[in-house]
Amino acid sequence: MGPLAVNEIISENTNLFLAFLIGIGFGFVLEQSGFSSSRKLAGIFYGYDAVVLKVFFTAAITAMLGLLFFSLFGWIDLDLVYVNPTYLTSAIAGGVIMGLGFIMGGYCPGTSFCGASIGKIDALVFIGGLFIGVLIFGLGYKLWEGMYLAKFLGFPKVSESLGLSDGVFALILIIAALGMFWAAEWAEKKFQREEY
Protein backbone atom coordinates (compact mmCIF):
# COMPACT_ATOMS: atom_id res chain seq x y z
CA MET A 1 0.00 0.00 0.00
CA GLY A 2 2.84 2.39 0.62
CA PRO A 3 6.06 2.98 2.51
CA LEU A 4 4.33 2.40 5.86
CA ALA A 5 4.99 -1.34 5.60
CA VAL A 6 8.44 -0.80 4.07
CA ASN A 7 9.44 1.32 7.07
CA GLU A 8 7.82 -1.21 9.43
CA ILE A 9 5.38 1.40 10.75
CA ILE A 10 2.60 -1.12 10.14
CA SER A 11 2.80 -4.88 9.64
CA GLU A 12 2.39 -6.60 6.28
CA ASN A 13 -0.93 -8.04 7.48
CA THR A 14 -2.20 -4.58 8.43
CA ASN A 15 -1.00 -3.34 5.05
CA LEU A 16 -3.09 -6.01 3.28
CA PHE A 17 -6.12 -5.29 5.48
CA LEU A 18 -5.91 -1.56 4.73
CA ALA A 19 -5.56 -2.34 1.01
CA PHE A 20 -8.70 -4.49 1.27
CA LEU A 21 -10.66 -1.64 2.92
CA ILE A 22 -9.38 0.91 0.40
CA GLY A 23 -10.37 -1.48 -2.41
CA ILE A 24 -13.91 -1.73 -1.06
CA GLY A 25 -14.09 2.05 -0.79
CA PHE A 26 -12.73 2.44 -4.31
CA GLY A 27 -15.30 -0.01 -5.67
CA PHE A 28 -18.09 1.84 -3.84
CA VAL A 29 -17.00 5.16 -5.36
CA LEU A 30 -16.81 3.58 -8.83
CA GLU A 31 -20.32 2.16 -8.53
CA GLN A 32 -21.74 5.41 -7.16
CA SER A 33 -20.10 7.27 -10.06
CA GLY A 34 -21.93 5.06 -12.55
CA PHE A 35 -18.96 2.93 -13.54
CA SER A 36 -21.04 -0.24 -13.40
CA SER A 37 -22.74 0.85 -16.65
CA SER A 38 -20.91 -0.10 -19.84
CA ARG A 39 -22.87 2.56 -21.76
CA LYS A 40 -21.74 5.27 -19.36
CA LEU A 41 -18.14 4.07 -19.59
CA ALA A 42 -18.16 3.85 -23.39
CA GLY A 43 -19.70 7.33 -23.50
CA ILE A 44 -16.25 8.88 -23.16
CA PHE A 45 -15.28 7.49 -26.58
CA TYR A 46 -18.44 8.82 -28.24
CA GLY A 47 -18.52 12.17 -26.46
CA TYR A 48 -21.93 11.87 -24.78
CA ASP A 49 -20.72 11.12 -21.23
CA ALA A 50 -17.40 12.26 -19.75
CA VAL A 51 -17.88 11.01 -16.18
CA VAL A 52 -14.95 8.57 -16.64
CA LEU A 53 -12.58 11.39 -17.52
CA LYS A 54 -13.85 13.60 -14.71
CA VAL A 55 -13.71 10.96 -11.96
CA PHE A 56 -10.32 9.51 -12.88
CA PHE A 57 -8.66 12.87 -13.49
CA THR A 58 -10.03 14.13 -10.17
CA ALA A 59 -8.75 10.99 -8.40
CA ALA A 60 -5.32 11.25 -10.05
CA ILE A 61 -4.93 14.94 -9.19
CA THR A 62 -6.10 14.36 -5.61
CA ALA A 63 -3.58 11.53 -5.15
CA MET A 64 -0.80 13.55 -6.81
CA LEU A 65 -1.41 16.62 -4.65
CA GLY A 66 -1.74 14.46 -1.54
CA LEU A 67 1.65 12.87 -2.19
CA LEU A 68 3.27 16.22 -2.99
CA PHE A 69 1.96 17.86 0.18
CA PHE A 70 2.79 14.81 2.31
CA SER A 71 6.32 14.97 0.91
CA LEU A 72 6.51 18.72 1.54
CA PHE A 73 5.49 18.23 5.19
CA GLY A 74 7.98 15.36 5.57
CA TRP A 75 5.23 12.80 6.14
CA ILE A 76 6.27 10.59 3.22
CA ASP A 77 9.49 9.89 1.34
CA LEU A 78 8.63 9.86 -2.36
CA ASP A 79 11.77 7.81 -3.07
CA LEU A 80 10.10 4.91 -1.24
CA VAL A 81 6.93 5.06 -3.35
CA TYR A 82 6.98 2.28 -5.95
CA VAL A 83 7.01 3.35 -9.59
CA ASN A 84 6.20 0.67 -12.15
CA PRO A 85 9.01 -0.20 -14.56
CA THR A 86 8.44 1.02 -18.10
CA TYR A 87 8.71 -1.43 -20.99
CA LEU A 88 7.68 0.78 -23.91
CA THR A 89 6.75 -1.90 -26.46
CA SER A 90 4.53 -3.90 -24.12
CA ALA A 91 3.00 -0.70 -22.68
CA ILE A 92 1.93 0.39 -26.17
CA ALA A 93 0.71 -3.09 -27.16
CA GLY A 94 -1.17 -3.50 -23.86
CA GLY A 95 -2.69 -0.04 -24.20
CA VAL A 96 -3.96 -0.82 -27.69
CA ILE A 97 -5.41 -4.19 -26.61
CA MET A 98 -7.05 -2.74 -23.50
CA GLY A 99 -8.31 0.31 -25.41
CA LEU A 100 -9.94 -1.87 -28.07
CA GLY A 101 -11.46 -4.08 -25.38
CA PHE A 102 -12.74 -1.02 -23.54
CA ILE A 103 -14.38 0.39 -26.68
CA MET A 104 -15.91 -2.95 -27.72
CA GLY A 105 -16.97 -4.20 -24.27
CA GLY A 106 -17.53 -0.96 -22.41
CA TYR A 107 -15.46 -2.04 -19.41
CA CYS A 108 -11.89 -1.98 -18.22
CA PRO A 109 -10.76 -4.75 -15.81
CA GLY A 110 -11.60 -2.79 -12.65
CA THR A 111 -14.98 -1.52 -13.79
CA SER A 112 -15.99 -4.99 -15.04
CA PHE A 113 -15.75 -6.24 -11.44
CA CYS A 114 -17.74 -3.19 -10.36
CA GLY A 115 -20.49 -4.11 -12.82
CA ALA A 116 -20.35 -7.79 -11.87
CA SER A 117 -20.77 -6.92 -8.20
CA ILE A 118 -24.27 -5.62 -8.92
CA GLY A 119 -25.13 -8.53 -11.24
CA LYS A 120 -24.44 -7.16 -14.72
CA ILE A 121 -24.23 -10.11 -17.13
CA ASP A 122 -22.12 -8.23 -19.70
CA ALA A 123 -19.59 -7.48 -16.96
CA LEU A 124 -19.43 -11.17 -16.02
CA VAL A 125 -18.79 -12.07 -19.67
CA PHE A 126 -16.07 -9.41 -19.80
CA ILE A 127 -14.43 -10.90 -16.68
CA GLY A 128 -14.52 -14.32 -18.35
CA GLY A 129 -12.68 -12.81 -21.32
CA LEU A 130 -10.21 -11.19 -18.94
CA PHE A 131 -9.34 -14.56 -17.40
CA ILE A 132 -9.06 -16.19 -20.83
CA GLY A 133 -6.64 -13.41 -21.84
CA VAL A 134 -4.58 -13.91 -18.68
CA LEU A 135 -4.48 -17.66 -19.34
CA ILE A 136 -3.39 -17.18 -22.95
CA PHE A 137 -0.72 -14.70 -21.88
CA GLY A 138 0.56 -16.97 -19.12
CA LEU A 139 0.62 -20.16 -21.18
CA GLY A 140 2.18 -18.46 -24.20
CA TYR A 141 4.57 -16.21 -22.31
CA LYS A 142 7.66 -17.69 -23.98
CA LEU A 143 6.24 -16.69 -27.39
CA TRP A 144 6.10 -12.98 -26.62
CA GLU A 145 8.59 -12.62 -23.78
CA GLY A 146 10.97 -10.69 -26.07
CA MET A 147 8.30 -8.16 -26.98
CA TYR A 148 7.06 -7.97 -23.38
CA LEU A 149 10.51 -7.02 -22.07
CA ALA A 150 11.55 -4.85 -25.06
CA LYS A 151 12.60 -1.20 -24.71
CA PHE A 152 13.06 -1.10 -20.94
CA LEU A 153 13.19 2.57 -19.90
CA GLY A 154 13.71 2.08 -16.18
CA PHE A 155 11.43 3.67 -13.60
CA PRO A 156 10.81 7.14 -15.05
CA LYS A 157 8.48 9.78 -13.67
CA VAL A 158 6.79 11.97 -16.27
CA SER A 159 8.06 15.11 -14.52
CA GLU A 160 11.67 13.88 -14.66
CA SER A 161 11.33 12.84 -18.31
CA LEU A 162 10.14 16.35 -19.17
CA GLY A 163 12.84 17.98 -17.02
CA LEU A 164 10.28 19.61 -14.73
CA SER A 165 9.98 19.74 -10.96
CA ASP A 166 7.12 17.77 -9.44
CA GLY A 167 5.33 21.00 -8.46
CA VAL A 168 5.52 22.55 -11.95
CA PHE A 169 4.33 19.30 -13.53
CA ALA A 170 1.43 19.16 -11.04
CA LEU A 171 0.40 22.70 -12.00
CA ILE A 172 0.54 21.86 -15.73
CA LEU A 173 -1.50 18.70 -15.15
CA ILE A 174 -4.15 20.63 -13.18
CA ILE A 175 -4.43 23.21 -15.97
CA ALA A 176 -4.67 20.39 -18.56
CA ALA A 177 -7.38 18.70 -16.48
CA LEU A 178 -9.39 21.92 -16.27
CA GLY A 179 -9.11 22.27 -20.05
CA MET A 180 -10.22 18.68 -20.52
CA PHE A 181 -13.14 19.17 -18.12
CA TRP A 182 -14.24 22.18 -20.19
CA ALA A 183 -13.88 20.19 -23.45
CA ALA A 184 -15.80 17.30 -21.90
CA GLU A 185 -18.68 19.60 -20.92
CA TRP A 186 -18.76 20.97 -24.46
CA ALA A 187 -18.77 17.45 -25.96
CA GLU A 188 -21.54 16.26 -23.63
CA LYS A 189 -23.75 19.12 -24.83
CA LYS A 190 -22.89 18.58 -28.50
CA PHE A 191 -23.33 14.77 -28.51
CA GLN A 192 -26.26 14.47 -26.10
CA ARG A 193 -28.09 11.15 -25.97
CA GLU A 194 -31.34 10.10 -24.43
CA GLU A 195 -31.08 8.80 -20.87
CA TYR A 196 -29.66 5.26 -20.81
Tens of pLDDT along the chain (196 residues) come to 456 777 778 888 898 999 999 988 988 888 888 888 888 888 888 888 888 888 888 988 999 999 999 998 888 888 888 888 999 999 999 999 988 888 888 888 888 888 898 899 999 999 999 999 999 999 999 998 999 999 999 888 888 889 999 999 999 999 999 999 999 888 888 887 766 5
In a domain, 131, yes or no: yes
- Domain with 142, as residue range(s), is 84-155
In a domain, 190, yes or no: no
Q: What string of DSSP letters covers 32-73?
A: HTTTT-HHHHHHHHHTS--HHHHHHHHHHHHHHHHHHHHHHT
In a domain, 21, yes or no: no
In a domain, 100, yes or no: yes
- φ/ψ of residue 84, rounded to 5: -60, 140
In a domain, 160, yes or no: no
Burial zone of 1 (CB within 10 Å; 0-12 exposed, 13-18 middle, 19+ buried) = middle
Please tell me the pTM assigned to this model: 0.73
In a domain, 52, yes or no: no
Number of independent structural domains in the chain: 1
